[in-house]
Amino acid sequence: MEWFVFFLVLAVFGLIIGGLARLVLPGRESIGVLGTILAGVGGSLLGGLVGRALFGDTNWLGSLLLATAGAVVLLLPFRMRGRVVR
């Protein structure tokens, strides 16, 4: 039951994280609002799992930073997709 609550909190938290990740990576993205929310939820899960594995339980600020970093990592391929490397 503890893991279920953990994942539920991370998913709700991810709705906010998607917006914060877009603030960290400003500019036009082709993924839209739903993609941003999904990146936030995925980043929240990714950051939460990595944070729990590396640091155990973290405080709310550590969780916020790890979740935002996870969402930024998930948004970077969309940012790089639009650029041509020569």
Q: What's the pLDDT at 73?
A: 85
In a domain, residue 4? The reply is no
In a domain, residue 24? The reply is no
In a domain, residue 64? The reply is yes
In a domain, residue 56? The reply is yes
Give the pLDDT of the chain (86 residues) as one tens digit per residue: 788 888 777 667 777 888 788 888 777 766 776 777 788 888 877 887 888 888 877 677 777 788 888 888 888 877 776 554 44
Tally of domains within the chain:
1
Q: Which residue has the tokens 């948004």?
A: 75
Please tell me the pTM assigned to this model: 0.67
What are the strands, taking DSSP E only, across 1-86? none
> Taking the chain, what is the end-to-end CA distance rounded to the nearest angstrom?
51
Note down the domain range covering 60: 33-76
In a domain, residue 41? The reply is yes
Q: What's the pLDDT at 84?
A: 45
In a domain, residue 51? The reply is yes
In a domain, residue 42? The reply is yes
